Amino acid sequence: MRLFSIIQWHHFAYMIISLALLGYGASGVFLALNRDRLTAVFPSAVINNLLLFSFSAPACFLVAQQIPFNPAEILWAPVQLLYLCSIYLLLALPFFFAANVIGLSFYQYQGQISSIYAADLFGAGAGSVGVILLLFVMFPEKILIVLILMGILASLIVSYDAFRGKNVCTKHWTRACIIIGVAIAFILTGLITLNVSPYKSQNQLLQIPGTKIIDQYSSPLGLISIVKSEITPLRHAPGLSLNALTEPPEQLAVFSDADNMTVITRYDGNPESISYLDQMTSALPYHLKQLSNILILGAGTGSDILQAKYHSIKHIDAVELNPQVIGLVKDKYADFAGQRMKLMI
């Protein structure tokens, strides 16, 4: 879901739930038609499906990124629906292989279905928590490598248990396949990159000469990217009057999942340097009523806080969901932003 939210838009990330159901449903039909043949070679079938899951997860994602899907064209370009269906089927494939392992286990150990189902639910829960924790220390695309290694580890455990005491050739062949798989996983580490839609605002800004990403942070709440424009000054002031007499000072763009742009504005403590904030539509409440206390929900990088400071608000409470965004303004770029925040939990 995180990857799809980054490369496209978060609206399509929710497709992942139906993708999983499609993969599991297709697996059920496949196993119903091939049950006897697969249960006869149960260990090999499980190992093969584990390995296929391991490599199809990153491979299908990489291929799906190359499909030129643009949701904005769906209404007038029917080919976009074909692209969407192609992405849908590609990303359902890893779920198909994972479901095969679970379904085959149900067939093979019919007296232990409750235990297998409990293990499945426990693994799903542990995996969800594990991915959330990994998103704090790894970029989303790199977690695909973890999935490869986990699938290979599972196949290694199954092969050790299934082929214990069997002929040496079979064991060596299985181990050789797994070693090759591990090697491929490490090779893929440098190949897996995010191909973000060119229609997202971050990529649009990066088309301007002299712009570059200077910092990135990952978390379950979003992939934060900081973009600097070294040639053309960045000017972000939504709702600024056409009759404005001043312009914004130097700014850094901050994107969440390559979209939803906000800015960190340079502030040296001189209110006159941010007087442009009084010429925006969002300044209207300050002219309608004398305010002394305000609450800002979704403070982001603090533009609304600066606006409140400019209007001499004595007490400002600001709430921001993403602690990494707070850290940018409060710590990493505190000198640039002007120490505008004090963190309270």
81-110 pLDDT, tens digit each: 999 899 889 999 999 999 999 999 998 888
Tokens at 214, concatenated: 């200077």
pTM: 0.83
Q: Do residues 129 and 209 touch, judged by C-beta distance below 8 A? A: no
The pLDDT value given to residue 345: 46
* pLDDT tens digits, one per residue of 148-175: 888 888 888 887 776 665 655 555 566 6
Tokens at 120, concatenated: 């499945």
The pLDDT value given to residue 251: 92
The pLDDT value given to residue 134: 93
Say which residue the tokens 């990952």 belong to: 218
Q: Do residues 184 and 55 touch, judged by C-beta distance below 8 A? A: yes
The pLDDT value given to residue 179: 64
* pLDDT tens digits, one per residue of 252-281: 999 999 888 999 999 988 888 899 999 999
Give dist(CA 324, CA 318) in Å, integer: 15
Average pLDDT in the chain = 85
| Helix (H/G/I), strand (E/B), else coil: 61 | helix
